[in-house]
Amino acid sequence: MTFSSFMTRKEAFGFLVLAAVIFLVLPLALDAFRLNLFGKYLTYAFVAVGLALFWGMGGILSLGQGVFFGLGGYCMAMFLKLEASTPENTAIQSTPGIPDFMDWNQITALPAWWEPFNSFAFALFAVVAVPVALAFVIGLAMFTRRVGGVYFAIITQAIAAILTILIIGQQGFTGGVNGITDLRTLMGWDIRSEAAKTTLYFVNGALLFAVLMVAHYIRKSKLGRLLRAMRDQPDRVRFSGYNVASFKIFIFCVGAAFAGIGGAMFTLQVGFMSPTLVGIVPSIEMVIFCAVGGRLSIIGAVYGALLVNWAKSTLSESYPELWLFGLGALFIAVVMAFPNGLAGIWSERIEPQILRLFNRSKDDKTAPKRAPAE
Amino acid sequence: MQERFILKVEDLTVSFDGFKAVDGLNLYIEPNECHVIIGPNGAGKTTLLDLICGRTAASGGSVKFHDKELLSMREDQIVHAGVGRKFQTPSVYEDLTVFENLELNYPKGYSVFGALTFRCDDTIRGRITEIAETIFLEDMLDEKAAYLSHGQKQWLEIGMLLIQDPELLMLDEPVAGMSVAERKKTAELLKRIITDRSVIVIEHDMGFVVDIATRVTVLHQGQVLSEGSMEHVQNDPKVVEVYLGH
């Protein structure tokens, strides 16, 4: 495949600008603390990109993306927690060598399903595999029975609620409502230092670009066109000879994999994972990131995640009680006035203006040259 | 030896909350025939096509295409077996261009992996152009389907079926809602494409039916009222009573 068939110049320009923002502008403009905050925002962009694929293109609205984000994050947190719980570090516990919250809950041995998370390779695998496996099961159960639309959204939301309750209820195994905290090192590398956080920011950015390229490839493939066809005419796609359910399951799993990677990067950069990131509210917020960015645009989804989270931090620092109203108002505004979000404003309003200006200045330059010749 | 029938519908029944839309129906389609189904509103014509193509689940009976039982197959499997269906209202992918609409129906890359790795090569492009010429849309390949007229959408949907080259083509009122000029062009188009395959057509336009039909079946209240040549059914007193005489 040639580059030009993979990406038009306009698309390449969009990716370049985003790369400049993430790898140059933000690192140069922000101190290490703020940069780490933006790194955290960018982990939500993984989820938003997935949503742009299966909600924007495929028309499947999931209100439970926090589940996959959380599962990815927990898989990473379990590995980091085990590494932090060496017998020396936990010598004061009644059972040294197990995570502290287990000890507090009178658990005396590491549960068997925690054991594999001693291996970094397994943890990395699980970060993607666990969310994908759950998404596959949900997809198989829902899409082959042709559950869709609002019903699917409600069911995913219920799953988000169930997982939160499960994590909080099984405190001894999951850290309960506090989550898994006090994570220190990754393979002996202290992830709490400023230098480490800056490095992780760039790793996160690179991974996000890898995810964006995968998403872009899918969008450009026939599968991308099929998704758009399915969104508008699901019945017709079946009579074009496609098994609609298998495509929906696939794209839902892709979204879950993206979210899982984002969750793992969240754990690494923020240093904990808790059920507050899994439940209904964060899941809905993730949909809002995508909606604000423009649900049809994968680049827009990244800007949406950045902007809404930045607004959230800024607003809730000064007016904590106002943020939820702000978020609600934002969502209504986007749905009512800008259904295609930031990306829509750009491509419908700003870009034509720029093109017009550009063309006019070209005309201005060429016009006088032509005049004397006549 | 060639089979006598490519499609055998036997004792087919579907009931919606006790109402039998299709009731113990038998229908046999021969190779290369153009079989027209007529009947008053609510006779079960569209439901019959829905049952054959898997859109509606039957309550009983059997639909055999060659030796395959279609009733136990999914819609996409039925398409792969060689049965194509055109809907009454034009259903095309509005957000995609004419080219993309045809490309999606090109019989290749049906699996998830196949769709991810699908490449539009010159063979496919040639076939799409060829079909676009047949359906009078060769100048509109890059146009979004949403911007086509009603008649053009009907043609596009016919093209989407043609590119799959089905052995059995089912058309539900292909000229409904068309202007006189479009109607004429469509009749021409249909006459060209119904050769070399079996076709089931639902149509109300009698002039058109006389023109294309090799055999006619009249449905009434989910059952076959009369079957045979156009001349035969036109002179059947039962038919005159319920349908043509009105």
CATH assignment of the domain containing B51: 3.40.50.300
Q: Please classify residue A241 by burial: count the beta carbons closer than 10 Å to its beta carbon, then call 0-12 exposed, 13-18 middle and 19+ buried.
A: buried
In a domain, A209, yes or no: yes
B96 interfaces chain A, CB cutoff of 8 Å = yes
Residues of A in contact with B119 (CB under 8 A): 1
pLDDT in tens, A74-116: 999 999 999 999 888 888 888 888 999 999 998 889 999 999 9
- Other C-beta atoms within 10 Å of B149: how many? 12
Q: Mark whether A351 and A271 lie in a shared domain.
A: no
Q: For residue A166, what are its two tokens?
A: 């499960």
Q: Mark whether A168 and A197 lie in a shared domain.
A: yes
A106: left (phi over 0), alpha (psi -120 to 50) or beta: left
From the list B230, B208, B207, the residue with the least C-alpha distance to B218 is B230
- Total domains, chain B: 1
In a domain, A331, yes or no: no
DSSP for residue B97: B
* Residue B27 host element (H or E): strand B19-29
CB contact under 8 A, B116 and A222: yes
CA distance A295 to A301: 7
Distances, alpha carbon A79 to alpha carbons A66, A110, A180, A256, B122, in Å: 20, 13, 10, 20, 51
In a domain, A330, yes or no: no
* Structural domain that includes position B36: 7-92+149-244
CB contact under 8 A, A241 and B164: yes
Q: Mark whether A50 and A187 lie in a shared domain.
A: yes
Please state the pTM of the whole predicted model.
0.91
Alpha helices in B54-205 (DSSP H): 75-81, 98-105, 112-117, 122-134, 150-162, 180-193
Pick the residue from chain B with its C-alpha nearest to A217.
Answer: B116
ipTM of the complex: 0.88
Helix/strand/coil for B199: strand
In a domain, B221, yes or no: yes
CB contact under 8 A, B91 and A235: yes
Distances, alpha carbon A8 to alpha carbons A57, A210, A249, A258, in Å: 19, 18, 29, 24
* Structural domain that includes position A318: 3-325
A146: left (phi over 0), alpha (psi -120 to 50) or beta: left
Q: Mark whether A113 and A227 lie in a shared domain.
A: yes
Alpha helices in A242-340 (DSSP H): 244-270, 280-293, 298-318, 323-337
The terminus-to-terminus CA distance of chain B in angstroms comes to 45
Residue A139 has pLDDT above 50, yes or no: yes
Helix/strand/coil for A219: helix
Residue A4 has pLDDT above 90, yes or no: no
Q: Mark whether A193 and A280 lie in a shared domain.
A: yes
Residues of A in contact with B84 (CB under 8 A): 239
Across the interface, of A1, A217, A225, the residue whose CB is closest to B96 is A225
A317, A322, A327, A332: CA torsion to nearest 10: -150
State the nearest Cα–Cα gap between B57 and chain A, in angstroms: 14
CA angle A247, B147, B54 (to 5 degrees): 40
State the nearest Cα–Cα gap between A238 and chain B, in angstroms: 5
Residue to test with chain B: of A242, A246, A250, most B Cβ within 10 A: A242
- Other C-beta atoms within 10 Å of A189: how many? 11
CB contact under 8 A, B116 and A223: yes
CA distance A49 to A233: 23
CA distance A139 to B48: 31
Residue B177 has pLDDT above 70, yes or no: yes
Q: Mark whether A299 and A357 lie in a shared domain.
A: no
The residue with greater pLDDT, B184 or A47, is A47
pLDDT band at A233 (very low <50, low <70, confident <90, very high): confident
Q: Mark whether A36 and A146 lie in a shared domain.
A: yes
In a domain, B117, yes or no: no
In a domain, B157, yes or no: yes
Quote the percentage of chain A above a pLDDT of 70.
Answer: 96
Across the interface, of B53, B95, B117, the residue whose CB is closest to A239 is B53
Predicted confidence at residue B2, as pLDDT, reads 60
CA distance A151 to B15: 27
CB contact under 8 A, B116 and A221: yes
Residue A367 has pLDDT above 50, yes or no: no
In a domain, B70, yes or no: yes
Across the interface, of A236, A241, A244, the residue whose CB is closest to B93 is A236
Residue B109's contacts (CB-CB under 8 Å, 6 or more residues apart) are A222, B115, B117, B118
**What is the per-residue DSSP string for A341-352?**
HHHHHIIIIIHH
Predicted confidence at residue A364, as pLDDT, reads 52
pLDDT in tens, B22-53: 999 999 999 989 999 998 888 889 999 999 99
Q: Mark whether A313 and A372 lie in a shared domain.
A: no
From the list A227, A202, A224, A206, the residue with the least C-alpha distance to A215 is A224
In a domain, B120, yes or no: no
In a domain, B212, yes or no: yes
Residues of B in contact with A145 (CB under 8 A): none
CB contact under 8 A, B76 and A233: no
State the nearest Cα–Cα gap between A206 and chain B, in angstroms: 23
Quote the radius of gyration of chain B (alpha carbons, Å).
Answer: 18
Residue B184's contacts (CB-CB under 8 Å, 6 or more residues apart) are none
Predicted confidence at residue A370, as pLDDT, reads 41
pLDDT band at B1 (very low <50, low <70, confident <90, very high): very low
Burial B18-52 (b: 16+ CB within 10 A, else e): eebbbbebebbbeeebbbbbbbbeebbbbbbbbbb
pLDDT in tens, B112-137: 999 999 988 899 999 999 999 999 99
Quick one: average pLDDT of B169-187? 87
From the list A43, A253, A254, the residue with the least C-alpha distance to A139 is A253
CB contact under 8 A, A241 and B91: no
In a domain, B128, yes or no: no
pLDDT band at A335 (very low <50, low <70, confident <90, very high): confident
- Total domains, chain A: 2
Distances, alpha carbon A264 to alpha carbons A49, A126, A185, A228, A267, in Å: 16, 10, 14, 30, 5
Q: For residue B60, what are its two tokens?
A: 């009983």
Q: Mark whether A47 and A154 lie in a shared domain.
A: yes
Size of interface A-B (CB pairs under 8 A): 80
Residue B241 has pLDDT above 90, yes or no: no
Q: Mark whether A19 and A130 lie in a shared domain.
A: yes
In a domain, A26, yes or no: yes
Across the interface, of A218, A225, A231, the residue whose CB is closest to B104 is A225
| E runs forming strands in chain A | 185-186, 189-190
Q: Mark whether A366 and A219 lie in a shared domain.
A: no
Predicted confidence at residue B179, as pLDDT, reads 84
Q: Mark whether A295 and A362 lie in a shared domain.
A: no
In a domain, B144, yes or no: no
Average pLDDT, chain B: 89
In a domain, A334, yes or no: no
Pick the residue from chain A with its C-alpha nearest to B80.
Answer: A241
State the nearest Cα–Cα gap between B238 and chain A, in angstroms: 36
CA distance B99 to B95: 12
| C-beta of residue A196 within 8 angstroms of C-beta of residue A80 | no
In a domain, A332, yes or no: no
CA distance A269 to B188: 67
From the list A100, A264, A276, the residue with the least C-alpha distance to A178 is A276
